[in-house]
Amino acid sequence: MKTLGLALMALAATTTAAFAQQTPTTAGVFDPGSTTFVEAGRLLADPANGVVQRDKTLVIRGNQVVEIRDGFVGDAAQGRVIDLHQAFVLPGLIDSHVHLTGQQNPNSRLEEVTLSDADQAMVGARYARRTLMAGFTTVADLGASNQAIFALRNAIRNGDVPGPRIIAAGSAVSIHGGHGDINGYRDDVMHLLSSESICSGPEDCMRAVRTQVRAGADIIKITATGGVLSNTAAGLNQQFSDEELAAIVGSAHRMGRQVTAHAHGVDGINAFLRAGGDSIEHGTYLDDQSIRLFKANGAWLVPTLLAGDFVARIASSPDNFFTPAQTAKALEAGPKMLDMARRAHQAGVKIAFGTDTGVSAHGDNAQEFALLVRAGLTPLEAHLRISNEAGKIAPGMPADIVAVSGDPLSDVTELERMKFVMKSGVVYRAD
Ligand SMILES: [Zn+2]
């Protein structure tokens, strides 16, 4: 597996198989033998080719699309018929960077020491539902307590709670004292809360990767540089050594896991790409050398413009709830991200849709589309990137189908007003 897109596709295939044996007990009843006809007035079945078709009927059997027929030909004698004649129908949306088990708020630092892993899983169930209702049928969760996020992923897969299918990283692999470790509390509290995924030195970092794989990680997330929201004045530059990065990428790839890196500073971005990393989250200070490395590796950039926009807005508002260390970094990095995405896109770097939601509010994920368009992507490109390999409506694909009223190719903010959500053949929303 070379790309995040491929990982999403692989995940979709495995969860579909799991879903076929399950009966969701929430919104909608799933019967593996049932047939549903979705009559679509306008249909963007494959964002990769951008063709909008008129008056089609999607035939869904169990959790899969089996056929696309011309005209509105749903047969009520054979199954359920869903009328989306006035709607614009497209594949379920994919967000490749979220944090479902929490959301930034004035109490975030207190919650780190008051919410148990079980509490966080329950909070995650609330946000997973909100994410699904916003039309996102697949997400990658890039940083959460192992116990909380793996339990949530499995519960959704088993149909126990509604939510998007989740590719979960679990706990981020990070250096001691770095972004991803616990920081800014009294030392004995930090000793208690620091995770097994925190490491120092190449050997220890291989151990951290392998520990994450053993615990159930689908993908390895690392923090290659400092971060805005860690409560430490440690900057935004490279934190792992080159030797540690090589050990991490090598040990992850040998176990079939991709590695994606949180990275702002250019030294950390370029060191991680030189080590063979698969994708970069944020990418704030990338330069021409980074662009060459992205293209040489076929690596993805996930610019998370919504997170940059959000932290800059909070840090400069009268209601700023960030600490002084967080505020300084938010004002420094946030405003640079739009221009960074524009340069990378113009140079031909592959851009994937990801929001870092959990920084901003769950359910607002689709606001990223308008920011990507401001950074120079067309609405189709902004959508295409999320669904490069996984998200299309075609026979044999999981029936992940969403719809809005207007045309998102002329006004991408239509995607912020979701009207219909089906995931794996189950309808969760029909306004
Ligand atoms: Zn993040």
Q: What is the pLDDT of residues 361-377, one digit of tens each?
A: 999 999 999 999 999 99
To 10 degrees, what angle do helices 337-346 and 288-297 make?
50
Distance CA(305)–CA(150), nearest Å, equals 27
Ligand 1 center from residue 55 Cα (angstroms): 40
Ligand 1 center from residue 307 Cα (angstroms): 9
- Per the DSSP assignment, residues forming a β-bridge with 223 are 262
Q: Tell me: pLDDT of 230 over 80.
A: no
* 420-423: strand order across its sheet: 64-70, 52-61, 35-44, 80-91, 401-404, 420-423, 426-430
Ligand 1 center from residue 246 Cα (angstroms): 22
pLDDT at 22: 38
> CA torsion, points 328, 279, 6, 408, in degrees to nearest 10?
40
pLDDT in tens, 341-365: 999 999 999 999 999 999 999 999 9
CA contacts within 13 A on the Cβ side of 101? 29
Ligand 1 center from residue 360 Cα (angstroms): 10
Ligand 1 center from residue 104 Cα (angstroms): 11
∠ CA 384-154-179, rounded to 5°: 70
Ligand 1 center from residue 359 Cα (angstroms): 7
Could you tell me the two tokens for 375? 């950074």
pLDDT at 329: 83
pLDDT bin (cut points 50, 70, 90) of residue 417 is very high
**310: nearest Cα among 329, 334, 342, 286:** 334
Ligand 1 center from residue 103 Cα (angstroms): 11
DSSP summary character for residue 78:
T
Tell me which of 380 and 187 has the higher pLDDT. 187
pLDDT at 30: 56
Ligand 1 center from residue 27 Cα (angstroms): 29
Ligand 1 center from residue 354 Cα (angstroms): 9
Could you tell me the two tokens for 198? 């925190």
- For residue 406, CA distances in Å to 37, 72, 87, 89, 223 come to 21, 19, 7, 10, 39
Could you tell me the two tokens for 214? 């053993």
pLDDT at 384: 52
Ligand 1 center from residue 358 Cα (angstroms): 8
Owner of token pair 């053949």? 425
Residues 262/222, Cβ–Cβ less than 8 Å: yes
pLDDT at 12: 36
Which three-class secondary structure state does DSSP give residue 184? coil
Owner of token pair 């749903």? 74
Ligand 1 center from residue 46 Cα (angstroms): 28
Ligand 1 center from residue 99 Cα (angstroms): 6
- For residue 295, CA distances in Å to 111, 117, 197, 341 come to 40, 39, 30, 15
pLDDT at 47: 85
Ligand 1 center from residue 98 Cα (angstroms): 6
Ligand 1 center from residue 407 Cα (angstroms): 30
Q: Tell me: pLDDT of 18 over 90.
A: no
Ligand 1 center from residue 277 Cα (angstroms): 17
Q: What percent of the chain has pLDDT over 90?
A: 74
Mean pLDDT score, 277-301:
96
Ligand 1 center from residue 113 Cα (angstroms): 20
Mean pLDDT score, 308-319:
90
**223: nearest Cα among 257, 190, 198:** 198
Distance CA(393)–CA(58), nearest Å, equals 9
pLDDT bin (cut points 50, 70, 90) of residue 227 is confident
Ligand 1 center from residue 53 Cα (angstroms): 36
Ligand 1 center from residue 96 Cα (angstroms): 10
DSSP summary character for residue 103:
-
Mean pLDDT score, 267-273:
97
Q: Tell me: pLDDT of 23 over 50.
A: no
Tell me which of 87 and 185 has the higher pLDDT. 87
Ligand 1 center from residue 356 Cα (angstroms): 5
pLDDT in tens, 160-177: 999 999 999 999 999 998
* Residue-averaged pLDDT of the chain: 89
To 10 degrees, what angle do helices 242-254 and 266-274 make?
40
pLDDT at 57: 98
Ligand 1 center from residue 129 Cα (angstroms): 19
Q: How remote is the C-alpha of 410 from its chain's centroid?
A: 24
Ligand 1 center from residue 364 Cα (angstroms): 15
Ligand 1 center from residue 69 Cα (angstroms): 41
Ligand 1 center from residue 124 Cα (angstroms): 15
Distance CA(400)–CA(381), nearest Å, equals 20
pLDDT at 165: 94
Distance CA(295)–CA(297), nearest Å, equals 5
Mean pLDDT score, 234-258:
94
Q: Tell me: pLDDT of 28 over 60.
A: no
Does the pTM surpass 0.85? The reply is yes
pLDDT at 80: 96
Ligand 1 center from residue 332 Cα (angstroms): 17
Full DSSP string of 373-409:
HHTT--HHHHHHHHTSSS----TTSB--EEEESS-TT
pLDDT at 66: 96
Which three-class secondary structure state does DSSP give residue 259? strand
pLDDT bin (cut points 50, 70, 90) of residue 32 is low
Mean pLDDT score, 302-309:
94
Lowest pLDDT segment from 101-115, 222-236, 243-257, 363-377: 222-236
Name every residue whose Cβ is closer than 8 Å to that of residue 282 and which is 6 or more positions away in sequence. 262, 263, 264, 302, 303, 304, 307, 308, 333, 337, 356
Distance CA(356)–CA(362), nearest Å, equals 10
pLDDT at 235: 79
pLDDT at 4: 36
DSSP summary character for residue 416:
G
Q: Tell me: pLDDT of 231 over 50.
A: yes
